[in-house]
Amino acid sequence: MSILFGPAGNSDSFYAQGYKASWQAPAWLHAMGLNAYEYSFGRGVQLREDTADKIAEEARKYGVTVSAHAPYFINLANPDPAKRENSFRDILESARLVKRLGGDRAVVHVGAVMKMERQEALRNCRAGIREAYARLEDAGLGEIHLCPETMGRPSQIGNLAETLEFCLTDERLIPCVDFAHLHALSGGGLKETEDFAKVLDAVEGALGLERARDMHVHFSTIEFTEKGEKRHRTFAEAQYGPRFELLAPLLKARGYRARIICECHGTMAEDARAMKDIYEAL
């Protein structure tokens, strides 16, 4: 299987061209030469089942692989029982609907440190991931891959090492390596091909090459401050990094089969197509 490219959500141009519904996205993406699509439940799981079925039907028709992003406010570090229960509910609902969408991956923000010691927060997250999978299995959703995402602020749980450690708790976990977040977290540290190679080396060292090759990737340019991530930018804004031109040759040389989802602001489909062009030109 080759690398898949697509957007997170719908570009501004999708709506400017008169499209109004996400079930229309697979045909639109197919016409652009794209083959992946990430549906966002970021602000809550609010998708009607008939709409999910329509998206799944269109995605199958046009050869578009679907994933989903679980709500942003999931926090498995939170020790409050009611808040943890909300997080488990959101993970379960995201998994249920991504399956209905015809997909098999749900990206998850694992948690935030809050006022805890970081090690306590990490322990809570590890326990929460195990509990989440127990609940998925009970619901008949054990085949869904949760994808813990690398995060862009020190206050959040999910630097690269933490994300890879989470993935060691269950083989179904697939790391979502967000290169923009890693760039922001390191104060602009992804500047050379060697910087990207170190990220891939870390994933391969922790999980093995075969598992690393199937990683989920978020890619965009990003604006950041000393506190980390500020906002996602577009490829046209050349003053912002990271740049996919530095990563693409490594993915090609190492035989990666990743799903690469573009999160650029407003131009996610166009910039996903640009990444595909860069990769195919190698």
**10 Å Cβ neighbour count for 21?**
10
CATH number belonging to the domain at 4-280, selected among 3.40.50.300, 3.40.1190.20, 3.20.20.150, 3.40.50.2300: 3.20.20.150
Among candidate residues 219, 224, 249, 220, the one with its CA nearest the CA of residue 237: 220
* H-only helix segments in 2-80: 12-16, 25-31, 49-62
* Rg, C-alpha atoms of the chain: 18
The tens digit of pLDDT for each residue in 104-127 reads: 999 999 999 999 999 999 999 999
What span, in angstroms and rounded, lies between the C-alpha atoms of 280 and 92? Answer: 37
What span, in angstroms and rounded, lies between the C-alpha atoms of 280 and 165? Answer: 32
pLDDT at position 98 is 98
Evaluate whether 163 touches 173 at the Cβ level (below 8 Å).
no
What span, in angstroms and rounded, lies between the C-alpha atoms of 17 and 3? Answer: 28
The tens digit of pLDDT for each residue in 229-279 reads: 999 999 999 999 999 999 999 999 999 999 999 999 999 999 999 999 999
Instruction: Look up residue 188 and give its DSSP letter.
Output: S
What span, in angstroms and rounded, lies between the C-alpha atoms of 272 and 282? Answer: 16
* H-only helix segments in the chain: 12-16, 25-31, 49-62, 81-100, 118-138, 160-167, 179-185, 193-207, 209-213, 244-253, 268-280
Distances (CA, A) of 53 to 20, 29, 184, 219, 252: 17, 18, 37, 28, 34
pLDDT at position 100 is 97
pLDDT at position 200 is 98
**10 Å Cβ neighbour count for 112?**
20
pTM of the model: 0.97
Sign, CA dihedral 182-183-184-189, equals positive
Q: Which residues does the chain have with pLDDT short of 50?
A: none
Domain boundaries, the chain: 4-280
pLDDT at position 229 is 97
pLDDT at position 1 is 57
